[in-house]
Amino acid sequence: MDADATGLFAPDRVAVVGATEREGAIGRAIVTNLAEFDGDVVAVNPKRETVLGHDCYPDLQAVPGDVDLAVVVVPPPVAIETVRDAGEAGVRNVVVITAGFSETGGEGAQRERELAAVADDYGLNLVGPNSLGVLSTPTGMNATFGPSNALPGNLSFMSQSGAFITAVLDWANDQDIGFKDVVSLGNKAVLDETDFLEFWRDDPETNVVLGYLEGIEDGREFIDTAREVTQDTPAVVVKSGRTEAGAQAASSHTGTIAGSEAAYEAGFEQAGVVRAENVQELFDFARALDGLPMPDSESVAVVTNAGGPGVMATDAVGDSRLSMAAFEDETLDALQESMPDEANVYNPVDAIGDADLERFETAMDIVLADDNVGCAIVVSAPTAILDYEELAAAVADCQREYEKPVVTCLMGGERTRHAEAVLRDAGIPNYFDPARAVGSLDALAVQRAVEAREYEAPAEFDVDRERAGEILEDAAARDARRLGVEAMDLLDAYGIPTPDGDVVDDPREAERIAGTIDGDVVMKIVSPDILHKSDIGGVKVGVSTNDVRDAYEDLVARARNYQPDATILGVQVQELVDVDAGTETILGMNRDPQFGPLVLFGLGGIFVEVLEDTSVRVAPVSEREADEMVDELDSAPLLRGARGRPPADEDAVTDAVQRLSQLVTDFPAILELDVNPLLATPDGVQALDVRLTIDPGEL
Amino acid sequence: MDADATGLFAPDRVAVVGATEREGAIGRAIVTNLAEFDGDVVAVNPKRETVLGHDCYPDLQAVPGDVDLAVVVVPPPVAIETVRDAGEAGVRNVVVITAGFSETGGEGAQRERELAAVADDYGLNLVGPNSLGVLSTPTGMNATFGPSNALPGNLSFMSQSGAFITAVLDWANDQDIGFKDVVSLGNKAVLDETDFLEFWRDDPETNVVLGYLEGIEDGREFIDTAREVTQDTPAVVVKSGRTEAGAQAASSHTGTIAGSEAAYEAGFEQAGVVRAENVQELFDFARALDGLPMPDSESVAVVTNAGGPGVMATDAVGDSRLSMAAFEDETLDALQESMPDEANVYNPVDAIGDADLERFETAMDIVLADDNVGCAIVVSAPTAILDYEELAAAVADCQREYEKPVVTCLMGGERTRHAEAVLRDAGIPNYFDPARAVGSLDALAVQRAVEAREYEAPAEFDVDRERAGEILEDAAARDARRLGVEAMDLLDAYGIPTPDGDVVDDPREAERIAGTIDGDVVMKIVSPDILHKSDIGGVKVGVSTNDVRDAYEDLVARARNYQPDATILGVQVQELVDVDAGTETILGMNRDPQFGPLVLFGLGGIFVEVLEDTSVRVAPVSEREADEMVDELDSAPLLRGARGRPPADEDAVTDAVQRLSQLVTDFPAILELDVNPLLATPDGVQALDVRLTIDPGEL
């Protein structure tokens, strides 16, 4: 989006191209929805002089004066011409409502490419096509054809589903939830989620960005932008099509070819995005992030007049990232002094059923003053002596005074209405279910951790990039796509340790190499055509230098015997490594269509294949991220010496992860790569085997 | 509860003992709440002649005619006398509202025991003490002191928190959710959750039992009762105090000493109880189970006018036990014929944004007629041409016609009100969030599986119980609490295979035993005082028969040298077992205060200790349950031959699980027991080591 993009949400003048008075037409609905717009509205329609009282012109170029935003509702072929007109007429922002583009398949996709090309020629900020439109509450501009307008607020919302916007607005109006900007992204021919994220970063009226996304256009760009944005402005996203069935459905909905769920999970994590699993979480999290102050810690105090619901709140804290605050002695003393004997002064504080407003206030005051308390939940069952509206006002006061986030469960039905309005004005969400109240504090904890992050540039290791390039070029020259141990040097060039040895195509050379290695060696036939070397006797373990030449001839003979036309690249002569001295891990990589190279790490064998205990990040991977990749494995204790195992040199592990990340980032020609096993010992790591697939076209 | 317990919820006559006109008193609140009761209300209070218009008597015995239910609100010491009076006066049912019993600790606990003893003397059905009361809508009896009454309905609700009842009633009234009976369990001195579960089993007006529980009094009894109940009547339970912090809070709330979460998880599973994680789920699940017909399968059809929300629903299905239905060819043909070209006829069916009522009806008709479809979700965004109230009526008709459960997400705010009322009348829940709609269908799937269960009696193996008893008696006789390999015969007596060999206390005997064993043997020192035998050289592997006597002397000498005063029971001479021929598993047991013996199974070593991949069941364990214990392990594929491992004889594994279950059920003196490892090979299992703790007092 260019610098003029403010014209998209805050234009002075909007032109509706395809405006009409025909009942039921989208061109009428948009003009009607623009009735409350502060700015000027003009219509474009060659067949009319006015539309619903607005001046009408035959085309955009005929409109006198500047137009900041053109909303296009003409049929698909005409839409492209209209966008060109807009460019010619100096209009900077265009929303294409018209459907019938890539979502309809082949021909439509071609039409969409043309549309994007025109927008590109003129440098237009183009939303859509196949969009419900855009709206922005400060100017009262509702340039959508949906049935509802938005209330004013500080949430800005982008959605890949127009229908979801209509549903959300109707619901949000009922819940008194307001928005700053809302945009229906449509097919994202030009502007996508990353553009809007960037735009709202600089928007002082946007407190929280919300997104409903079915896919991300450019994963790496999204991560880089979102990282900056989310340091100040929380972004909460529902990514639809998470499951296999969902992804299939999403693909037939918007034609989105989504990358793997693992990629999205890693990508959102790395981007600092707060991920919501469902619609309820999307808005619970957004409201909490919009309305509540940030806590200083994850320690929660619970104050209640009801034991059972207090226990439920405590359970919910136990399920979350939060923990129950341990009160300072003074807090306990003060509570003891002011609460009745039957009360429980330990957290959760149970002020018992006859607690009146004053007792609640006293308890809240005492616990919120405690430095060990980062945030609080006030849980109440309805009683005869407690007025919820008064309690709500007291909670709001407390939150203001202590600047700590407080959420409430004033439980009940009708009697909570007025209290909820008081709480809402103070930005405090009230839920019947303590688990939801805790969930909203949990979202603050996630955002707090994001804001505390210090993003470091990925390390740039001193590597032999030239040599790595040559190895890949050589492979490409002999038309090889799948490489094995003959490519161990690639790892070596990037500083990932490999055992001593080499691949040779001559028995004397094999003997010479063996002579440079201490002790006996391992010898393996190297052939892209022989995948299971062991099965054909293609591996010899513990060969002494004297026997190396014979062993060489024997390995080649076996391979020829097994498959006479196999390409034999030679024999690998390698130092004999004691695998029992360490833990076998896997370091892998593949390419995601949206996010690019994904790096995977896990313990080998059953941990990857049976237990699926792996961690994934989008490359390039920073040191912090590499550390996290190890930390988040369930099997991490095994790397760290659990049950008497040799503890691995973890720095060497994370170093290898980062070096691999650098390698696959440097060479887009590497499509897939697996180091399996990467042996992790107390003294470092060693890559014992490697397989990779390359695309010579990318070299 | 005895046969007269109907008098608890449907009495002809209620006496309120401690009735008063004093404002703010509980004794007044109860009399006031009884205003709408169909039956007769009398007051008991020696100081008054009438209370709020009801006749008042000095004590229960003075009341002329029968009293079916006495509600007691007098101070704690008087309460015990009142309950005795009730017994003397022939009152069968008593609700003790009075607090100040076990929830206050020592003295109160003693008072509660007295109260229970009195109730026991007279065989009374006693609710409480420390109860909010009971209510039942068919008779309009509200014998609680809460601020709200319940709407009529078919949910029966028991709660260990009175405050939660007041909160739920207030909320439920607002949501139009009705109840049959509600009981505040209080301290459960006499009647507990199992009694009410049993009572409601036979109540035709109770469709679903709901429970808020902080603990269960007698786990095994609960399981046995709940199994019968839940074959017809679903029971949905929130167990509070799930987390460590929550359990601590629960303990200070009601004095409940809860068993382990693992025990509750296993117990609820075995009982057929639908467990809700939080309040929202409790009522979402209950409403679905109350209002919707049972599906024939878990295949879901989604019909929508909105692509995005359709994808969300599909994701939620992917997250659940349910699956997306694959339509029959005729269904696809019929949809293709009747839907516009742009529609998606594959599941989720997207009838697109301009779908009117008729198109929705057509789509619903076609998919519900498909035998592959077990249930359906109708998802709609608001549009100009769709009236939600009409759509709701059509959904209700469809559900009636096809007798398949249908839930809805008619998304929006105000505009959903009337539609929701229509849907509610048809028992159909409507949610904004597709995930919640799917969650309610998921609850039906859980209940469907429960109802399909055939509970089998645990197998009774032909074991040598007498010999096992003798082994335990012998240990007790020598004052042993912790036993090791010297107790291998215990396993043998119950048919759990052990290697050949024995524990002997004489070198010649050792030699003789070794002579009966093929090949070399393993010898281990046997001493309760030496835990880590290997560390002191107390284990010899691969001893030939000739060397056995020397080895014996050497082992004893080492033990003496290590700890001169150690009790040495002898030396174990055992067949040398090749552990690489199988998979090491753990078969364990401990006793839970509520549920009794819990049997645990898992793969050995890291799987138990690092990955905590274990399964637990309350003993006695049936064959089906033993099978499930293996199935639910993440590491189960390893037992089944993953990655070239020897596949275990799974029948032998589940046989050992059931035999251990029988052993620990037969002998309450066994407090803890671990068979570690139980080696599982293709030819069967072998217990290689055992440790147990016994309580001689239980013998």
Beta-sheet pairing, B93-96 with B125-127: parallel
Compare all CA atoms of chain A with the CA of B322 and give the residue at the minimum distance: A245
* Cβ atoms of B97 and B128 closer than 8 Å: yes
Element spanning A107, H or E: helix A106-122
* CATH placement of domain B292-452: 3.40.50.261
Q: ipTM for the complex?
A: 0.92
Find the radius of gyration of the CA atoms of chain A: 32
How many Å lie between the alpha carbon of A573 and the closest alpha carbon of chain B?
Answer: 27
Residues in chain B closer than 8 A to A29 (CB atoms): 384
Using CA atoms, how far residue B465 sits from B85, B243, B494, in Å, is 49, 39, 7
Neighbour count for residue B32 (Cβ, 10 Å): 12
Indicate the residue of A162, A348, A436 with minimum beta-carbon distance to B280: A436
Put simply, the answer to whether B241 touches A605 (Cβ < 8 Å) is no
What is the C-alpha to C-alpha distance for residues B192 and B202, in angstroms, rounded to an integer?
17
Instruction: Please indicate if any CB of chain A lies within 8 Å of the CB of B238.
Output: yes
Number of alpha helices (DSSP H) and beta strands (DSSP E) in chain B: 24, 30
What is the C-alpha to C-alpha distance for residues B433 and B126, in angstroms, rounded to an integer?
43
Put simply, the answer to whether B434 touches A164 (Cβ < 8 Å) is no
Residues in chain B closer than 8 A to A76 (CB atoms): none
Instruction: Please indicate if any CB of chain A lies within 8 Å of the CB of B24.
Output: yes
Taking 70 as the threshold, does the pLDDT of residue B255 lie above it?
no
Classify residue A323 by burial, with Cβ atoms within 10 Å: 0-12, 13-18, 19+.
middle
A3-191 against A292-452: fold identical = yes
Taking 80 as the threshold, does the pLDDT of residue B252 lie above it?
no
Residue pLDDT, tens place only, A536-570: 888 999 999 999 999 999 999 999 998 888 888 89
Neighbour count for residue B521 (Cβ, 10 Å): 28
Beta-sheet pairing, A69-72 with A13-17: parallel
**In chain A, residues 352-391 whose CB comes closer than 8 Å to chain B:** 353, 381-384
What HEC string does A144-204 produce? ECCCCCCEEEEEEEEECCHHHHHHHHHHHHHHCCEEEEEEECCCCCCCCHHHHHHHHHCCC
* CATH placement of domain A465-575: 3.30.1490.20
Compare all CA atoms of chain A with the CA of B350 and give the residue at the minimum distance: A253
Residue pLDDT, tens place only, A133-174: 999 999 999 999 999 999 999 999 999 999 999 999 999 999
Taking 70 as the threshold, does the pLDDT of residue B316 lie above it?
yes
Q: For domain A581-698, which CATH number applies: 3.30.470.20, 3.90.1150.140, 3.30.43.10, 3.40.190.10?
A: 3.30.470.20
Give the confidence band of B258 by pLDDT, cuts at 50, 70, 90: very low
CA dihedral A602, A604, A605, A606 (to 10 degrees): -40
- So where are chain B's domains? 292-452, 500-575, 581-698
Put simply, the answer to whether B241 touches A315 (Cβ < 8 Å) is yes
Average pLDDT over chain B reads 94
Averaged pLDDT for residues B75-91: 95
Report cis status (omega within 30 of 0) of the bond before A348.
yes
How many Å lie between the alpha carbon of A684 and the closest alpha carbon of chain B?
Answer: 23
Residue ranges in A478-584 assigned as alpha helix (H): 488-493, 507-515, 548-562
Residue pLDDT, tens place only, B509-566: 999 999 999 999 999 999 888 877 888 889 999 999 999 999 999 999 999 998 888 8
**In chain A, residues 616-635 whose CB comes closer than 8 Å to chain B:** 634-635
Select from A166, A244, A285, A314 the residue whose CB has the most chain B CBs within 10 Å, as the one to mutate to test that interface.
A314
Instruction: Please indicate if any CB of chain B lies within 8 Å of the CB of A68.
Output: no
Using CA atoms, how far residue B569 sits from B91, B434, B486, B504, B566, in Å, is 62, 66, 8, 8, 9
Averaged pLDDT for residues B629-642: 93
Instruction: Please indicate if any CB of chain A lies within 8 Å of the CB of B166.
Output: yes
| Contact residues for A36 (Cβ-Cβ < 8 A; gap 6+) | A140, A142, A149
Compare all CA atoms of chain B with the CA of A409 and give the residue at the minimum distance: B167
Taking 90 as the threshold, does the pLDDT of residue B256 lie above it?
no
Indicate the residue of A167, A277, A317 with minimum beta-carbon distance to B412: A167
Identify the CA nearest to B399 among candidates B432, B382, B377. B377
Compare all CA atoms of chain B with the CA of A313 and give the residue at the minimum distance: B246
Select from A298, A315, A610 the residue whose CB has the most chain B CBs within 10 Å, as the one to mutate to test that interface.
A315
Put simply, the answer to whether A638 touches B606 (Cβ < 8 Å) is yes
* CATH placement of domain B500-575: 3.30.1490.20
How many Å lie between the alpha carbon of B533 and the closest alpha carbon of chain A?
Answer: 17
Residue A607: its pLDDT value, please?
87
Lookup result for tokens 């195992």: A645
* Cβ atoms of A196 and A183 closer than 8 Å: yes
Compare all CA atoms of chain A with the CA of B643 and give the residue at the minimum distance: A606
- How many CB pairs (< 8 A) connect A and B? 267
Element spanning A40, H or E: strand A40-44
Put simply, the answer to whether B317 touches A243 (Cβ < 8 Å) is yes
Residues in chain A closer than 8 A to B280 (CB atoms): 432-433, 435-436
pLDDT beneath 70: ranges in chain A: 1-4, 252-259
Select from A175, A298, A311 the residue whose CB has the most chain B CBs within 10 Å, as the one to mutate to test that interface.
A311
Indicate the residue of B350, B609, B634 with minimum beta-carbon distance to A611: B634
pTM of the model: 0.93
Domain A3-191 has CATH 3.30.70.2860: no
Instruction: Please indicate if any CB of chain A lies within 8 Å of the CB of B638.
Output: yes
* Cβ atoms of A627 and A654 closer than 8 Å: yes
Put simply, the answer to whether B311 touches A253 (Cβ < 8 Å) is yes
Lookup result for tokens 């040495």: B568
Instruction: Please indicate if any CB of chain A lies within 8 Å of the CB of B488.
Output: no
Residues in chain A closer than 8 A to B30 (CB atoms): none
Put simply, the answer to whether B238 touches A312 (Cβ < 8 Å) is yes
Put simply, the answer to whether B344 touches A319 (Cβ < 8 Å) is no
Residue A2: its pLDDT value, please?
57
How many Å lie between the alpha carbon of A458 and the closest alpha carbon of chain B?
Answer: 31
Report cis status (omega within 30 of 0) of the bond before B348.
yes
Residue pLDDT, tens place only, A616-635: 999 999 999 999 999 999 99
- Percentage of chain B surpassing pLDDT 70? 98
Put simply, the answer to whether B278 touches A433 (Cβ < 8 Å) is yes
Instruction: Please indicate if any CB of chain A lies within 8 Å of the CB of B230.
Output: no
Find the radius of gyration of the CA atoms of chain B: 32
Instruction: Please indicate if any CB of chain A lies within 8 Å of the CB of B318.
Output: yes
Number of alpha helices (DSSP H) and beta strands (DSSP E) in chain A: 24, 30
